[in-house]
Amino acid sequence: MRLHKNSFQKKPSCQIIELMFGSIKKILKFGKKKPEYIRTPEDVERDFNALLDGLKDKLQKFLITRSVASGEVKSGKDWKLIKNNNGLFRLESDLLSILINTESFLAPKDGKVTGLIRMSEASLCRVLADNGTAGDFFSLADPIRSVYLKYLPGDVRRRDPEMPGIDDLSGWDFFDVYQMVARNSPDTLVHVLIHASPEAREKIKEQLSVRKKEMLISEMKSLMSGANHPSMNPHSRIRSLLEYEDALLIFRKKMHEYILEKKLRERKKLQLQGALENSEHES
């Protein structure tokens, strides 16, 4: 059987070339990933602030005692909790009238500063043994939040506390604040940022690089999701949102250690300067 020579029509050469190039393009595109979006510093800053605000709101909703200025906070079947002042509560029932203190606080009243400060019995006796001033009681007590310090007389307020508080960072040099950022783990820093005063928080944020903020963002996402709650992962060393007291204490201890180191360096520097001056006089 013979086929007619016109039964197959040849495609024009230009079409064949186009098909060849089309095939090559498909091969080259195969497996090629789309370019990833590169996060800008503005993106990081936006996510950082949003997560930090979200965690503060989440914690505030749990800490219902802070949402009541004074008076009854909540009552049960045979009890009620009354708020007398910030950090001071009273548990009442037919057979109970118990004071509960959660933090030091100060308030002006009738021309005097009233309130409650927390300190160990050993620290209290140290002040008595040294015949100290009123300021010594505050220097050895647990730190008082910056919102209360304005009520203290100037000579008391100027004293350096033995164990500094988080809010004291607002008066630190930028280099010293950077040392605190470098010396503490991300999970500690997140808790500090959540509980610090606005002034101290901004001081810390100014010392955070974009990379450090990305690390803290990962930590905050974990806190926000509740994935690090002890009931979900009892063997984890990561603190949950409500386990902030240990983190704040660790940070304060690092502050205290750094203050001692700095004072020691300054003392050695003065001793060296004195030795050099003496040698110059002798020569």
- 243 within domain boundaries: yes
Answer yes or no: do 144 and 169 share one domain.
Answer: no
- Give the sign of the dihedral formed by CA 198, CA 204, CA 209, CA 213: negative
Cβ(228)–Cβ(45) below 8 Å: no
Answer yes or no: do 187 and 155 share one domain.
Answer: no
Answer yes or no: do 113 and 173 share one domain.
Answer: no
Answer yes or no: do 116 and 170 share one domain.
Answer: no
Provide the pLDDT for residue 225: 87
Provide the pLDDT for residue 13: 62
- What is the phi/psi pair of residue 85, to 5°? -165, 175
- 117 within domain boundaries: yes
The alpha-carbon radius of gyration of the chain (Å, integer) is: 32
Domain boundary among 137, 163, 189: 163
Closest CA to 213 of 103, 50, 24: 50
- Domains of the chain: total: 2
- Tens of pLDDT along the chain (283 residues) come to 555 555 445 555 666 666 666 666 665 555 556 666 678 989 999 999 999 999 999 999 999 998 898 999 999 999 999 999 888 999 999 999 999 999 899 988 898 999 999 988 998 999 999 988 888 888 888 888 888 888 888 777 656 677 889 999 999 999 999 999 999 999 999 999 999 999 999 999 999 999 999 999 999 999 998 755 555 554 445 689 999 999 999 999 999 999 999 999 999 988 888 777 677 666 6
pTM greater than 0.85: no
Answer yes or no: do 153 and 205 share one domain.
Answer: no
- 152 within domain boundaries: yes
CATH of the domain at 200: 1.10.220
- 17 within domain boundaries: no
Answer yes or no: do 199 and 247 share one domain.
Answer: yes
- Structural domain for 228, as ranges: 165-266
- 228 within domain boundaries: yes
- 13 within domain boundaries: no
Provide the pLDDT for residue 149: 82
- 89 within domain boundaries: no
Closest CA to 44 of 196, 185, 214, 163: 214
Provide the pLDDT for residue 150: 85
Domain boundary among 163, 180, 206: 163
DSSP label at 85? E
Answer yes or no: do 170 and 144 share one domain.
Answer: no
Dihedral angle at the C-alpha atoms of 155, 114, 68, 84, nearest 10 degrees?
160
Domain boundary among 121, 147, 163: 163
CA distances from 31 to 22, 27, 36 (A): 16, 9, 15
Beta bridge partners of residue 98, listed in sequence order: 91
Beta-strand relationship, 88-92 and 80-85: antiparallel
Cβ(167)–Cβ(145) below 8 Å: yes
